[in-house]
C-alpha cells in the first residue's frame, strides 16, 4: 500500500533494484515521480533517471560556484548554488546508504520514509538532495539541448499511457479488474 502523499520515485527505485528479469537503461516518470533526492540516488545506483518535468523552464538550476562569478553569456543561468560542504561532510554516510540499497539490505522506499519522518531534515537527506541538485541541473540542460532524449522520454511514457488505455478498453466493471483468480478462468472471461 502506497500513501497518496508519497512520491512514487522511491518505489520506482525499489522496482528497478528488485527486478531480475528486465534491466532498465533509462527510466522515466511524469512530474510527480521525481525529487532531487531521487535524481541523486538513481545516479549513484547506476540508473539513468529521465522524468518528463512539467514547466521545465521554471525549474531551479544549481551551480557550484557563486552566481556573481558565473559566465555572463550563458543561455541558461543557474539560480542557486550547491551546498558543497554538506556533500563533502556526509559523503561517506551517503555511500553507505547507497550500499545498503545495492546490497538489498533495505529498500529505498523504507529509507526515504525514515528520512522523511524526522522532525528536522536529516543530514543524509540534505546530502542526497544537494547531490541530486547537481544531477537534476545536468539533466535539465541535457533535456533542453537533446531532442533525442526528449523523444525517448515521451516514447517510454506513451507506452505506459497506451497500456493503461488498453486495460480500460478490455477490462469491465468498476474497478476495472478481473474477478477471476486463476489464469484459465481469466482467459475464459477475456474470450
Rounded distance, CA 120 to CA 126, Å?
A: 10
Residues 90 and 162 in one domain: no
Q: Is residue 131 part of a domain?
A: yes
Residues 169 and 126 in one domain: no
Q: Is residue 91 part of a domain?
A: yes
Categorize the per-residue pLDDT at 68 as very low, low, confident or very high, splitting at 50, 70 and 90: low
Q: Is residue 3 part of a domain?
A: no
- The residue among 133, 135, 111 whose CA lies nearest residue 124 is 111
What are the grid coordinates assigned to 183, written together? 489464469
User: Which residues are 81's β-sheet partners?
Assistant: 63
Q: What is the pLDDT of residues 135-154, one digit of tens each?
A: 999 999 998 889 998 888 88
51 contacts: CB under 8 Å, gap ≥ 6: 28, 29, 30, 31, 33, 34, 153
- The residue among 43, 160, 37 whose CA lies nearest residue 109 is 37
Work out the widest C-alpha separation in the chain, in whole angstroms.
69
Rounded distance, CA 132 to CA 136, Å?
A: 6
Q: Residue 29, Cα to own-chain centre: how many angstroms?
A: 7
Q: Is residue 189 part of a domain?
A: yes
Residues 160 and 101 in one domain: no
Q: Where are the alpha helices (DSSP H) in 4-48?
A: 9-17, 36-45
- Out of 41-45, 64-68, 134-138, 155-159, least confident range: 64-68
Residues spanned by the domain of 23? 9-145
Categorize the per-residue pLDDT at 132 as very low, low, confident or very high, splitting at 50, 70 and 90: very high
Residues 133 and 51 in one domain: yes
Q: Residue 161, Cα to own-chain centre: how many angstroms?
A: 18
Residues 62 and 120 in one domain: yes
Average pLDDT over residues 114-133: 85
Q: Residue 15, Cα to own-chain centre: how many angstroms?
A: 11
Q: Is residue 4 part of a domain?
A: no
Rounded distance, CA 157 to CA 51, Å?
A: 9
Q: Which residue has the cell 550547491?
A: 82
What are the grid coordinates assigned to 134, written together? 547537481
Residues 161 and 115 in one domain: no
Q: Final residue of a domain: which of 112, 129, 145?
A: 145
Q: Is residue 107 part of a domain?
A: yes
Most confident listed range (109-113, 120-124, 126-130): 126-130
Residues 163 and 110 in one domain: no
Q: Which residue has the higher pLDDT, 174 or 25?
A: 25
Residues 113 and 161 in one domain: no
Query: How many independent structural domains does the chain possess?
Result: 2
Q: Is residue 31 within 8 Å of 53, Cβ to Cβ? A: yes
Q: What is the pLDDT of residues 86-95, one digit of tens each?
A: 999 999 999 9
Question: What's residue 5's pLDDT?
Answer: 41
Average pLDDT over residues 53-79: 75
Residues 94 and 131 in one domain: yes
Residues 191 and 180 in one domain: yes
Residues 135 and 123 in one domain: yes
Question: What's residue 3's pLDDT?
Answer: 40
Q: Is residue 1 part of a domain?
A: no
Amino acid at each position: 500500500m502506497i500513501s497518496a502523499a508519497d512520491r512514487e520515485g522511491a518505489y520506482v527505485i525499489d522496482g528497478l533494484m528488485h527486478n531480475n528479469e528486465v534491466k532498465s537503461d533509462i527510466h522515466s516518470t511524469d512530474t510527480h515521480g521525481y525529487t532531487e533526492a531521487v535524481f541523486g540516488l538513481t545516479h549513484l545506483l547506476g540508473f539513468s533517471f529521465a522524468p518528463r518535468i512539467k514547466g521545465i523552464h521554471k525549474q531551479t538550476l544549481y551551480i557550484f560556484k557563486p552566481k556573481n562569478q558565473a559566465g555572463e553569456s550563458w543561455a541558461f543561468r543557474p539560480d542557486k548554488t550547491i551546498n558543497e560542504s554538506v556533500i563533502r561532510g556526509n559523503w561517506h554516510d551517503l555511500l553507505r546508504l547507497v550500499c545498503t540499497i545495492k546490497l538489498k539490505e533495505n529498500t529505498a522506499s523504507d529509507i526515504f520514509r525514515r528520512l522523511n519522518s524526522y522532525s528536522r531534515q536529516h543530514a543524509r537527506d540534505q546530502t542526497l538532495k544537494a547531490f541530486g541538485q547537481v544531477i537534476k541541473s545536468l539533466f535539465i540542460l541535457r533535456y533542453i539541448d537533446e531532442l533525442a532524449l526528449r523523444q525517448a522520454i515521451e516514447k517510454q511514457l506513451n507506452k505506459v499511457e497506451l497500456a493503461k488505455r488498453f486495460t480500460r478498453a478490455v477490462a469491465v466493471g468498476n474497478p476495472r479488474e478481473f474477478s477471476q483468480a486463476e489464469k484459465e478462468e481469466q482467459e475464459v472471461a477475456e474470450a
